[in-house]
Amino acid sequence: MSRYARQMILPEVGARGQARLSDARVLVVGAGGLAAPVLPLLAGAGVGYLTIVDPDEVALSNLHRQTLFAERDCDRPKAEVAAERCQALNSEITISAKNKALTNLNSQRFVSQADVILDCADSYAASYTLSDTCRALGKPLISASVLGLSGYVGGFCGGAPSLRAVFPDAPGSGASCATAGVLAPVVGMIGAMQAQMALSVILGLDPSPLGQMVQFDARTMRSTTFRFNDAPEPSHHFPFVSTCQLTADDLIIELRSPDEAPEPIHPKALRGSSELIEIEPNKSKRLAFCCSTGLRAWRAAEKLQPDWPGEIVLVAASTS
C-alpha cells in the first residue's frame, strides 16, 4: 500500500493532488520551534522538494520546543540535522540544507526557486525581507510567530496583501522567546497550522488560506480568524539591507551600546540615536540605522522619517 494512501482517500487530495505535492518546491526559512512540526508534516505528506535555510546550531535551551533535535545534536547546524530527520522520514523526497541566514542578498534566489515559502524564522528582518521578496515575485508566503502562550499564522502575498499590509508598524514590544519565554505546545499548534496552510495552497483548496489570519491563545484555548484580502499596502517602508551593502557615503547610526557590540557594524558608523542626527548637512545621504534584531532601528526610522528627506534603511546585525 502506498505511504500516501490515507491522505489520497480524501477527495481534496486524490492522485492529482498527490502529484501536485510531489512536484511542489517549498522553502522553509528557520529550522527551530515552528519548523519542528512543519518539516516532518510536509515531508510525510510527500512534498517533493524541501529547502531548509537556517544559520544557527542546535542548543540545549531550545530543545523543549525544537523537537526535531536530540541532546546529541547540540552544536550541530540546525538545517543539516533537520534535513537528516526529514530524509529519514521520507527517502522519496529531495531535501537541501542551507546553513546560512536569509538576507536581502539571497532571498530572491531562494524564493524564486520555490512554489510556497514558509517563514519559520524568529527574526523581524527575515520575515519582512521574505514578505518584500514574495510580493515582488508573486509567491505565496505562510508566516507565523509565537511568543509566550499565543501566536498567529497567516497567508500573505501570492495575490494576497503582504505582511507589511497587516503589520505596517514596528512591533510595540521587543520581547522574544529568549527574553519572554514560550511554551512548546503553542509552537507546535501554530506550526501544524502553518503546515496545513502550505498544503492547502499547494492543493489549491478553497477558500484559500492566502489573505487569512488565525490567532491562537493557549491560555483560554480560543482561536480567532479573519480575512484581510482588502488590506492596503503601506505607502512606504524601511527595507532591511546587509552589512556589506553599507558604504562610506551612508550616514550609519549604530544603536547598539559598546557593551552589546564592542565594534560598530561599520568603520564609519556613529554611535547614538535619532535625536543626535543633524539633518541639514546630511540630507543628501542614505541613512542606515543598525541594531541587533532590526527592531530598534525600525523604531528610530519611524521617529525620524517625517523629517528625513532621503532613503532610510535598516540593518539587523544578527542576520547580516
**Catalytic residue set:** 177
Residue 151 in grid coordinates: 501566536
Task: Choose among 37, 5, 10: nearest CA to 200.
Answer: 10
Q: Which residues of 89-110 are buried (b: 16+ CB within 10 A; e: fewer)?
A: ebeebebebbbebbbbebbeeb
Most distant pair of Cα atoms in the chain: their distance: 73
Give burial (CB, 10 Å; 0-12/13-18/19+) of 2: exposed
| Beta strands at 251-254 and 270-271: parallel, antiparallel or unpaired | parallel
